[in-house]
Amino acid sequence: MADQELDELTAHVSDFLAAHDPRALGRREFLRARFDAGLAWVHFPVGLGGLGLARESQTHVDALLAEAGAPDNEPERNTIGLGMAAPTILQFGTDEQKHRFLRPLFTGEEVWCQLFSEPGAGSDLAGLTTRAVREGDTWVVNGQKVWTSGAQTSQWAILVARTNPEVTKHAGLTYFLCDMSAPGIDVRPLRQITGEAEFNEVFLTDVRIPDAHRLGAEGQGWQVANATLMNERVTIAALPRPREGGMIGVVADTWRRRPELRTPELHSRLLKLWVEAEAARIAATRLRQKLAAGQPGHEGSAMKLGFAGLAQRLSGLELELLGADGLRYADWTMRVPDRSDFTGHDAGYRYLRAKGFSIEGGTSEVLRNIVAERVLGLPAEPRVDKDIPWKDLPR
């Protein structure tokens, strides 16, 4: 970013803060004004929360606002909306959709969830069976989704459904923006091994979605969904972290505070994982720099794959390091978590919750195929179903 451009951006933030004192305004009022001033996502277009600047300029804006004591938009409450729905709507949405959804999404007034996975499709998203049938200007949707984080507190969802069973499974999908308060939506919590009901299954029975809430063209759902998934994997695995941020910091802190727990073997394993965590942090920085120049690529799949394995190995080492104390779990109760706070729990919770990292955002098995084929250029696995109409596939 050129010095003159940086100075102009700094002055713009200063003028904004002079006119909108964060100590005098409520959170929502401040965030709405921030969006209107183009300081929500500075790389977005003017009028849509941005200034048309380079993506890396956002770090500078965020730092200036934080220094002034400005409230954030509680990103942990709306991870799917901010990290997945917003960039997808920007890329594929109509002007009306962008102006309708982006502002309340940024301010947190509308929280989003993701209706992609299904019980019968497993990791094969293109094999989904939820149907959307068009009736005039409305689509009628029937089916079941599963592993939907935050469905019970979300106002909107990104939804992929099958609109044409006569073509191949990838070609017959369409992407929708679904109102979670619409009649026919039934959200049921799924209790997981941690005791929480972080995920849900969602049943859709004759849910009516206006065609105005279709994102992208009919039959373009696979392309739109792939853009969402690429952004999701970057969101999960490439968040900005300081050195020793995340799980490696938790384990290293325990090592320093509890010398009686140390053994040479555990020390060797910790050092190796520390180096791996630092390499992953630097790689994530490079990935964000590449993202600043355009849309995320398949490298995000490699980052997410590495992140899942590293977090699981670190949580396992922490459990071994703590011995009997590692089995403590203070709050194994049925509850709906308000926000994602992985490192703020007991070691026992982290060990159990980390198992889900190799499933959410794409299973590790699927991501290995993506990395092998799309990044390394290795031969693809045989796929006997890719040229067969979906209706003729065995299920």
Sort strands 214-215 and 173-179 into parallel, antiparallel or unpaired. antiparallel
The C-alpha angle with vertex 143 and arms to 164 and 81, in degrees rounded to 5, equals 90
Determine the Cα–Cα distance for residues 286 and 296; give it in Å rounded to an integer: 12
What phi and psi, each to the nearest 5 degrees, are found at residue 214?
A: -80, 130
Determine the Cα–Cα distance for residues 222 and 229; give it in Å rounded to an integer: 10
Determine the Cα–Cα distance for residues 356 and 145; give it in Å rounded to an integer: 17
67 catalytic? Reply is no
3-state secondary structure of 133: strand
Report the interhelical angle of 27-36 vs 95-107 (nearest 10°): 140
Sort strands 156-162 and 185-190 into parallel, antiparallel or unpaired. unpaired
3-state secondary structure of 132: strand
**Six-digit token pair at 15?**
């003028």
Q: Which of 101, 79, 344 has the alpha carbon at shortest distance from 237?
A: 79
* Annotated catalytic residue within 110, 198, 201, 232: 232
What is the dihedral sign for C-alpha 52, 108, 19, 22?
A: negative
Q: Which of 205, 218, 202, 203 has the alpha carbon at shortest distance from 137?
A: 218
- DSSP code of 45? P
**CA atoms within 13 Å, Cβ hemisphere of 58:** 19
Q: Which residues contact 34 (CB under 8 A, 6 or more apart)?
A: 16, 20, 40, 65, 70
Q: What share of the chain is helix, strand, coil (3-state, %, to 5)?
A: 50, 15, 35
Surface-to-core class of residue 40, CB atoms within 10 Å of its CB (0-12 exposed, 13-18 middle, 19+ buried): buried
Determine the Cα–Cα distance for residues 334 and 191; give it in Å rounded to an integer: 7
Which residues are the active-site residues? Answer: 232
